[in-house]
Chain A
Amino acid sequence: MYVAVKGGERAIENAHRLLAHERRGDRDVPEVTLAQISEQLSLGVDRVMTEGSLYDRELAALAIKQARGDMIEAIFLVRAFRATLPRFGASEPVNTGEMQVRRRISSTFKDIPGGQILGPTFDYTHRLLDPQLAEGFVPEQPATAEAPQTPAPRVTDILGRDGLIESSPQAEPDAPVGDLTREPLSFPADRDLRLQNLARGDEGFLLALGYSTQRGYGRNHPFAGEIRFGDVEVEFFAEDAGFAVPLGSIELTECQMVNQFKGSATEAPCFTRGYGLAFGQSERKTMSMALVDRALRARELDEEARSPAQDEEFVMSHSDNVQATGFVEHLKLPHYVDFQSELGLLRKLRQEFAEANDTPELREAAE
């Protein structure tokens, strides 16, 4: 009975062996391949890359496989690997205005230069389970058309030309990029660190917080100005070469929310912005992120911050699911030393209570 409490080296080894066995499942069923996960569970891979802060489909697929489909565990695996990677530097800022758009919608205008492109989306599907998909279903080839030659400028840039939306703050080109994985976070945090925190933050947590702003807890009147998903080029300024060299392209989803306007005696009223960005196709994540980003700008925009989504310390300290799951689950570790201390105190207090109130049963039980 004591052994069960203390555990031991052999118990750990055996538990790991059993885990590997359970992970494999029925050995008569073929094993899933990383390519299958990457190709057929691609949105899961996108989420693991986004919250894991590492753009590597193969490693994310491996993490999902190793984690038996537990997304937070997979994100954790990727993060732990990422922490050991050397840093060569920061890329040039990506230009999402030049994205090779695969999907792009705006809810604020009927039509926009470059057009509304529905792309691959669950939107407007009827959520009926499809028995055809159970096995061997070969979908039709997608419809194709000539790629449009017209550029697709960002909707917020179109609004910005008329001054209808606040201008996007421009970063100092020579200022170092904030990185909360390299420097400890302190409060108040600037928007670059807030956005980094939100980009790594748990999708479910941000979804709930974003939703809470829509229900009146820090309402900010959002419109989905634009959501775009596609490929963008990543460039790195090579000191040796003296110019920026392309590293490759990555898939990104960007959401620009257009929010309630502000103005004052000296400033003409204009819309404000909320911003979301994630790897792969992650629309729920980027929309939630944009809502929370806007809510967290309360201080900067002189709004009264009264709701959880507007509270920077609250949001940023609790958004990280790897931190959250670790601390919640650490309650599984033995705590019997502290518990013993509490138990001793409680027994003493109960005994004193019993003596003061002269209840012998309680006194006996306390002793």
Chain B
Amino acid sequence: MNAPTYNFAYLDEQTKRMIRRAILKAIAIPGYQVPFASREMPMPYGWGTGGVQVTAAILGPDDVLKVIDQGSDDTTNAISIRKFFGKTAGVATTTSTTDATVIQTRHRIPEAELHAGQVLVYQVPIPEPLRFLEPRETETRRMHALAEYGLMHVKLYEDIARFGHIATAYAYPVKVNARYVMDPSPTPKFDNPKMDNCAALQLFGAGREKRIYAIPPYTTVVSLDFEDHPFTRYRFDAPCALCGADNSYLDEIVTDDRGGRMFVCSDTDFCEQRQAAGHHGTERAAPHKEKAHV
């Protein structure tokens, strides 16, 4: 039988070179979606194959990797991806945002400010911000080429006309380096301002859709809005029940079927660091902790 053997960080070097070329092009043209020959990965499409390929292509033996999903290091898919790289690359892993050199994320940007030298790798399901306005790739590529973004502004305007607000709560479109309209991946719009002028390199990988794009460090990223309807962040108005933070994005935990709920930080590392530093909320438990291995 043709028994499989695998390279460092799973992908063969030729594939990594191809991905790195796409990444370099993406960095050179901030916000532009670079097509790349995405490979079939050993996890399903839609489960982070784009992010995994980007991470595999940039990872070196000395890197320290953090993987989060929904802001948390211990969600099932984050664990699965972290274990994948632990196994195929043998790199050190961490849950600390500050200690990590590469952070792969799905749906969140960490609360702690990222520093120079770090790379944030986003998993992207649908890279095309115009996709739900125009399903054809041939059309959307032309619209980007001509910077023809009127359709997006009409959509945002129609939201305001219908609901009184821009009715996009996540994957809120941004303009990068005053040129390309970009999908920030399905992060809550609360996270959008963190992309602007960020010290870290931000890379976006969409495996199924075969696209890579990037925001180089210290690049202008503006959330689309109107003068009379400026962009606003959304955050539930409560402190975290565990660490008392009043500036972090919160998960809503339903505690019973009579309307009981609590709000805790979605970024588990941020929350734990704060608790370790002596901050407390109304609850003292750390309910997301698993029981120790026996």
B220, chain A: closest CB distance, angstroms: 24
Residue among B2, B210, B250, B291 making CB contact with A185, cutoff 8 Å: B210
Chain A residues within 8 Å of B293, by CB: 10
* Least Cβ–Cβ distance between A9 and chain B, in angstroms: 5
B278 at the interface (CB under 8 A from A): no
Within A59-82, the residues touching B (CB, 8 Å) are 59, 62, 76, 79-82
Of A59, A313, A326, A340, the residue contacting B47 (CB under 8 A) is A326
A337 pairs with B71, CB closer than 8 A: yes
Complex partner residue of B42 from A80, A182, A342, CB under 8 angstroms: A80
Shortest B208–chain A CB gap in Å is 5
Tell me if B101 is interfacial: C-beta within 8 Å of chain A.
no
Complex interface: chain A residues within 8 A of B39 (CB) = 83, 181
Evaluate contact between A6 and B72: CB separation under 8 angstroms.
Answer: yes
Residue pair B169, A345 in contact (C-beta under 8 Å): yes
Most B CB within 10 A of own CB, among A10, A182, A333, A352: A333
Interface positions of B from 151 to 177, Cβ below 8 Å from A? 163-165, 167, 169-171
Question: When A323-B208, A327-B125 are in contact, do A6 and B169 touch as well, CB less than 8 Å?
Answer: no
A238 on the B face (CB < 8 A): no
Q: Does B228 contact A (CB under 8 A)?
A: no
> Measured between C-beta atoms, what is the minimum distance from A91 to chain B in Å?
18
Q: Is B202 on the interface with A (CB-CB < 8 A)?
A: no
Contact with B along A1-39 (1 / 0, CB 8 A): 111011111111000000000000000000000000000
Decide: B12 and A59 in contact? CB cutoff 8 A: no
Q: Which of A186, A336, A349 is packed against the most chain B CB atoms within 10 Å?
A: A336
Q: Which residue of B lies closest to A62 (CB)?
A: B1
| Residue pair A329, B46 in contact (C-beta under 8 Å) | yes
The count of residues in chain A whose C-beta lies closer than 8 Å to any C-beta of chain B is 56
The answer to the question of B55 belonging to the interface, with a C-beta cut-off of 8 Å to chain A, is no
Q: Is A338 an interface residue (CB 8 A)?
A: yes
Rounded to whole Å, the gap between the CB of A84 and the closest CB of chain B is 6
Please report the C-alpha to C-alpha distance between residue A49 and residue B272 in the assembled complex, in whole angstroms.
Answer: 49
Q: Is B137 an interface residue (CB 8 A)?
A: yes
Are A76 and B188 CB-contacts (below 8 A) given A2-B287, A12-B80, A337-B108?
Answer: no
**CB of B132 within 8 Å of the partner chain:** no
Q: Does B44 have its Cβ within 8 Å of any Cβ on chain A?
A: yes
Query: Are A8 and B74 in touch, CB under 8 angstroms?
Result: yes
Q: How far is the CA of A79 from the CA of B80 in the complex (A)?
A: 20
For residue B36, which residues in chain A have a CB less than 8 angstroms away from its CB? 184
Bound-state Cα–Cα, A327 to B40, Å? 13
* Chain A, interface SS category: helix
Contact of B70 among A186, A336, A342 (CB under 8 A): A336
Q: How distant is the Cα of A326 from the Cα of B255 in the complex, in angstroms?
A: 31
A330 within 8 A of B: yes
B69 in the interface, Cβ–Cβ < 8 Å?
yes
Whether the Cβ atoms of A59 and B170 lie closer than 8 Å is: no
The reply to whether A9 and B249 contact each other, CB–CB distance below 8 Å, is no
Interface residue from A1, A82, A188, A322 paired with B45 (Cβ < 8 Å) = A322
Q: Is B247 interfacial (CB-CB < 8 Å)?
A: no
| Given known contacts A7-B75, A188-B138, A338 and B169 CB-to-CB distance under 8 angstroms | yes
Q: Judging by beta carbons under 8 Å apart, are A341 and B45 in contact?
A: no
* B258 contacts the other chain (CB 8 A): no
Q: Is the CB of B12 within 8 A of A7?
A: no
Cβ of A334 and Cβ of B69 under 8 Å apart?
Answer: yes
Pick the residue among B49, B169, B287 that contacts A3 (CB under 8 A): B287
Contacts of B4 in A (CB 8 A): 81, 84
Closest to A180 in B: B37
Chain B residues whose C-beta falls within 8 Å of the C-beta of A82 in the assembled complex? 40
Beta-carbon nearest neighbor of A348 in chain B: B165
CB nearest to B286 among chain A residues: A2
Interface flag for A107 (CB, 8 Å): no
Which 3 pairs between the two chains have the least Cβ-Cβ distance? A326-B45, A330-B46, A326-B44
14 contacts between A and B (CB under 8 A): A7-B79, A59-B1, A79-B40, A84-B4, A181-B37, A182-B37, A185-B210, A326-B44, A326-B49, A333-B47, A333-B69, A334-B69, A337-B71, A340-B236
| Other 8 A-B pairs with CB < 8 A, given A6-B288, A322-B40, A344-B169 | A1-B255, A76-B40, A186-B35, A326-B46, A330-B47, A333-B47, A334-B77, A340-B252
